[in-house]
Amino acid sequence: MADPQSNAPLRAAAGPPTSGVIHVRTRLTADFTVLSNALAQRRGSAVTVGVAAYILSLPDGAPVSIAALCEHFTEGEILMSRALRELEEAGYLERRRERLPSGQIRTRTYFYDVPGGDADLDPDPDGPPEPPKPRRPRTQAAAAAVTPVSAPVEEAATVPVPAEAEAPSPLADADPRAVAVLTALRRVDPRLILSAHEAARLAPAVTGWLAAGLLPTQITDHLTARLPDHFLTRPAGILAYRLKETPLPLPAPARSTESPVRPAVVPLRNCDGCDRGFRSAEPGRCGDCRARDQLRAAG
C-alpha cells in the first residue's frame, strides 16, 4: 500500500526578518540562569532588571546588600537602593526579620522567580534537625489498634515557650544628641544613610564636638559641605574621616547679653548772649559769643 501523499503546497520559508533583532541561539548546558520574560521585559528602569538578573544568577547565601551590589556595578548606592525597592514592591524580593536560637535578630532576603511564589523554607537550616515523625499505620486495623475509634483523641498540650531576650541595641549606650545629628544628615543629603551600628560607632566623635561648644547645625554643615559626586566607600567611612582627620572648627563667639555702656549725652542749653541752642555741661555762652567777646577785649 502506497504512503499517503498531501496535495497541499509547501509553505515558503519566511526568511530572516527585515528589521528588529535577529537571535543567534546557542544551546547552553551549564552556567546559565532561567529568567522569566515578565521580569526580563519589565517596563521601567533598566537598572532594576539588571539587578534582578544578577541576583538570580548568584548562588544561595551570596550577599545582595547595597554595598555588595555597588562593588559589582558602577552605579551608586541611590540607584541600587531604588532598584531593590522596586523589586520589593513588585513582589520579586522579600526581606524577613527572623530570630536565631541564640536570640539574635537577622534579616533574610528571599528572591522569587515569579511574584507570590512559595518561600516556606526552614528559617534556620544550620540549626538542629527536627525529630522524625511517627509513621502512619498502613491498614485500618493497625490504626484501630493504635487509637480506638470510640476514644476521643486528645490534643497535645502546647507548652508556652518563654520569649527570648531581645538583643541589646547598639544605640543603647550612644549619646542621643549625637545620634540625632547623625540620623538627620540624610535630610540634607539622601546618600548619608547610616545603620544603627554605624551611628553608634560615630556617635562618640560627634559627642566630643558637641562638648567643645559646637551647635548641631554647625556639625551638620561641616559634615555635608563639599561632598564628592560619587562615593567610593560607605557614607560612614567619609563621615568618620571628617570627624577624625578634620581639625575641630572653632565655635562661634558667644554674644554678650550685657548692653554696652553708652557715653553720657551732654545736655542742650540756650546761649545767654544770642539765645541759640548749644550743648554744654554748664550754662553760659556759646562758642561764637565767647569768640566775639575775646575779639572785643583784644580790640
Q: Of 115-119, 139-143, 292-296, where does the model show the most confidence?
A: 292-296
- Please name every residue paired with 108 in a beta bridge, in sequence order, or none if there are none: 96
Q: What is the pLDDT at residue 2? A: 59
> Is residue 107 scored above 80 in pLDDT?
yes
Contacts of 282 (CB under 8 A, 6+ apart): none
- Please name every residue paired with 96 in a beta bridge, in sequence order, or none if there are none: 108
The per-residue pLDDT for range 19-78, each reduced to its tens digit, is: 888 878 888 888 888 888 888 888 889 999 999 999 999 988 889 889 999 999 998 889
When pLDDT is cut at 50, 70 and 90, the band that residue 120 belongs to is: low
The per-residue pLDDT for range 76-99, each reduced to its tens digit, is: 889 999 999 999 888 888 888 888
Dihedral sign for Cα 15, 20, 24, 25, please: negative
The per-residue pLDDT for range 226-277, each reduced to its tens digit, is: 888 777 778 888 888 888 766 665 555 556 566 666 667 778 788 887 878 7
The per-residue pLDDT for range 181-230, each reduced to its tens digit, is: 888 888 888 888 888 888 888 888 888 888 888 888 888 888 888 888 77
Contacts of 67 (CB under 8 A, 6+ apart): 77, 234
Report the Cα–Cα distance between both ends of the chain, in Å, rounded. 166
What is the average pLDDT across 159-182?
A: 64
Lowest mean pLDDT among 15-24, 103-112, 113-122: 113-122
3-class SS at 94? strand
Residue 213 cell numbers, joined: 561648644
- Please name every residue paired with 277 in a beta bridge, in sequence order, or none if there are none: 270
What is the average pLDDT across 106-131?
A: 65
Rounded alpha-carbon distances, angstroms, from residue 76 to 66, 71, 108, 186, 233: 9, 9, 23, 16, 10
Beta strands in 206-247 (DSSP E): none
Query: With contact defined as beta carbons under 8 Å apart, do 197 and 170 qualify?
Result: yes
Dihedral sign for Cα 177, 183, 188, 189, please: positive
Give dist(CA 76, CA 46) in Å, integer: 14
CA 240 to chain centre: 17
Residue whose grid cell is 552556567: 31
Give dist(CA 93, CA 114) in Å, integer: 10
- 102: number of CA atoms within 13 Å, CB side? 7
> Is residue 9 scored above 80 in pLDDT?
no
DSSP 136-154: PPSSHHHHHHHS-SSSPPP
The per-residue pLDDT for range 123-158, each reduced to its tens digit, is: 444 444 444 454 454 444 444 444 444 444 444 444
